[in-house]
Amino acid sequence: MAAAAANLAGRPGVRVVVIGDPGTGKSSLVVAVATEQFPENVPKVMPHTRLPADYFPDRVPITIVDTSSSPEQKPKLIAECQAADAVVLTYACDRLSTLDRLSSYWLPELRRIQLKAPVIVVGCKLDLRDDQQNSLEQTMAPIMQAFREIETCIECSALRQIQVPEVFYYAQKAVLHPTAPLFDQEAQSLKPRCVRALKRIFILCDHDRDGALSDVELNDFQVRCFSAPLQPTEISGVKRVVQEKMPEGVNDSGLTLTGFLFLHALFIEKGRLETTWTVLRKFGYDNEIKLRDEFIPTSVKRAPDQTVELTNEVIDYLKGIFNMFDIDNDEALLPSELDDLFSTAPENPWTSDLYKDSAERNVLGGLSLEGFLSKVF
Ligand SMILES: Nc1nc2c(ncn2[C@@H]2O[C@H](COP(=O)(O)OP(=O)(O)OP(=O)(O)O)[C@@H](O)[C@H]2O)c(=O)[nH]1
Ligand SMILES: [Mg+2]
């Protein structure tokens, strides 16, 4: 449990399963990362290998599972993939037939078994790569386009000790800071749940409620999330970047919600997912971008002979909320106004069947203050 407490993602460990064509360098890669040496002779399949918590800054130990690609071991390979947090899929840089096999066999096979874990494609034996060959980006772009489950790709050499730890760093990162809940790769935009959570965080940090984060508010936010203040030059730098790409992202009072969301999309596009994940986790969100249980007050337990009433303070507070979102002042919350009210929650809870017809609505579908209070209750 100490390890779990030590990392924000709350994971006791990450299990990485290494798969790929015969002889592509799987077992050598596993030995090389654990010993920082190239093994002259390596067993066909290495026993489970553990990288300790202090191997990477995220402080989560990694268990590496080597596999055999022989046909009789296939059921075992499938079982291992299904138990994996991340899959490292290898090809050999000096044998292009093994690269072709990624799209003709391995990636379709992983889809067939409905693998949920992210995939890191690794070109082994970089030292044997032909310099005339296309770059990794050129080679991999069409494959990554067709198979979005590939989180990243990298080349390495176990023999020359080039980019060996990086393979497992990216695998761990894909698990601790996954892309899928935050970002829609097809649409190249933040996912709705992520936007809702970031909006809530923005409002919580906008202490004076002027719709923008001032330098002081930005600094408080930075300290809260990253335990370090921002230098004044950094603050102006951030605002300049936003303003250049999105003028409405900054106004006289500071960074607007649009700018705040834009910044996070930018971090994610640049591969800095850990920044957005750290912010979300500091504000209580779990890996599904739901508030963790300890952030949600438990409901009151009530004996059969007891009743519960809202206090006047609560009623006044709720009336204030009602009036704030009743933009057209018609004393009723229209569906669009209710959507706005719940735009910082993971979803509008009152669209479920349980609530749908639980209070009367006016002809326009508006909810009166009484109806609103009864639903809250
Ligand atoms: N030049 C070079 N050779 C490598 C490298 N990594 C592995 N090899 C060699 O490639 C051959 C296969 O390596 P293995 O690690 O056994 O590959 P594997 O994928 O585990 O193979 P199987 O278990 O048989 O499927 C061995 O002769 C290794 O020495 C590397 O980075 N560079
Ligand atoms: Mg092997």
- Binned at pLDDT 50, 70 and 90, residue 4 comes out as very low
Q: 230-254, pLDDT tens digit by residue?
A: 999 999 999 999 999 999 999 999 9
Task: List the residue whose alpha carbon is closest to atom 29 of ligand 1.
Answer: 40
Rounded Cα distance between 253 and 200, Å, is 19
Which H helix or E strand runs over 141? helix 136-146
Rounded Cα distance between 344 and 329, Å, is 22
For residue 9, is it within any domain?
no
Q: Which of 17, 42, 161 is the best mutation target for the ligand 1 pocket, counting ligand atoms within 8 Å of the beta carbon and taking the most?
A: 42
pTM of the model as a whole: 0.79
Phi/psi for 19 (5° steps) reads: -130, 165
**Same domain assignment for residues 32 and 131:** yes
Question: Residues lining ligand 1, judged by CB closer than 6 Å?
Answer: 22-28, 42, 44, 68-69, 124-125, 127-128, 157-159
CA distances, 95 to each of 24, 92, 120, 128, 212 (Å): 8, 5, 19, 9, 55
20 alpha carbon, closest ligand: 1
CATH code of 106's domain: 3.40.50.300
Domain boundary pick from 237, 259, 294: 294
For residue 278, is it within any domain?
yes
**Same domain assignment for residues 19 and 107:** yes
As for how many domains the chain has, the answer is 3
**Same domain assignment for residues 106 and 228:** no
**Same domain assignment for residues 58 and 162:** yes
For residue 125, is it within any domain?
yes
For residue 365, is it within any domain?
yes
Residue 371, pLDDT score: 84
Q: 136-191, pLDDT tens digit by residue?
A: 888 999 999 899 889 999 999 999 999 999 999 999 999 999 998 999 988 889 99
Rounded Cα distance between 287 and 11, Å, is 11
Instruction: Please give the residue range of the domain that contains residue 256.
Output: 189-294
Task: List the residue whose alpha carbon is closest to atom 5 of ligand 1.
Answer: 125
CATH code of 359's domain: 1.10.238
